[in-house]
Copies of this chain bind each other. A is one copy, B any other.
Amino acid sequence: MSVENKINKFKGVPEPTVRRMPSYLHYLRFVSESGVMNISAPTIGRDLRFDPTQVVKDLAYTGVSGKPRIGYNVYELVQALRNFLGFNRLNDAFLVGAGNLGTALLSYQGATNFGIKIIAAFDIHEDKVNTQIGGVRVLHLNKCQDLVQRLQIKIAILTTPVSVSQLVTDKMVSWGIEAIWNFTPTHLEVPKDIIVQNTSMYSNVAVLLNKLANKNIQQPLV
């Protein structure tokens, strides 16, 4: 195997593991409130309905090591998970498109800050520009490039209409945005070093409705 290949062999933490990390953090915070100092993987697994071996493997990625028969130190885990999830860094983001969903996210994060802080929002409609939503100022999109570059913003939350999502994406990438949290149903075309995280309400609804339909089909068989 060539050196080139070996370098490319670098695999980060598996995505399913990353997705479970916030669950562990939420659970461990809850557990630590009741004064529990140490916790074992089987206990976590029982409560969260995860396989105990999977819990062990997942937690190993935080760098925390446990003690046989005792388990893991809860405080240590919470800190390690916070660090793993990037809550200790500051993750400033811009939101583009202050329509229904954009407004929704702005109001939502007013209360809960889930690891990303929305610094400003952008829109082109006069009735939105220079207002505040959820404590965040809405500016005209033509101010975006300058601010992305001055504030070194790397994360953009995309909540524009579908009709302009690719166009806005292209511009933001050219301005230096490195990661796009895409809430539109559009498949965005981006250079390969740009990260796109698709969050589709549609996919989630699809899975739920499908399970519900299966349930009703399956029943008569039993």
Contacts and interface: CB of A to CB of B under 8 A. Distances in A.
Interface residues of A, number: 65
A18 B210 contact: yes
A13 interface: yes
B104 A23 contact: no
Given A15-B207, A22-B203, A202-B22, A47 B100 contact: no
Contacts of A213: 86
A86 B214 CA distance: 12
Contacts of A218: 10
A148 to B, nearest CB: 15
Interface of A: 7, 10, 12-13, 15, 18-23, 26-27, 47-49, 85-86, 91, 99-101, 103-105, 107-108, 110-112, 114-116, 154-155, 162, 178-179, 181, 185-187, 193, 195, 197, 199-215, 218, 221-222
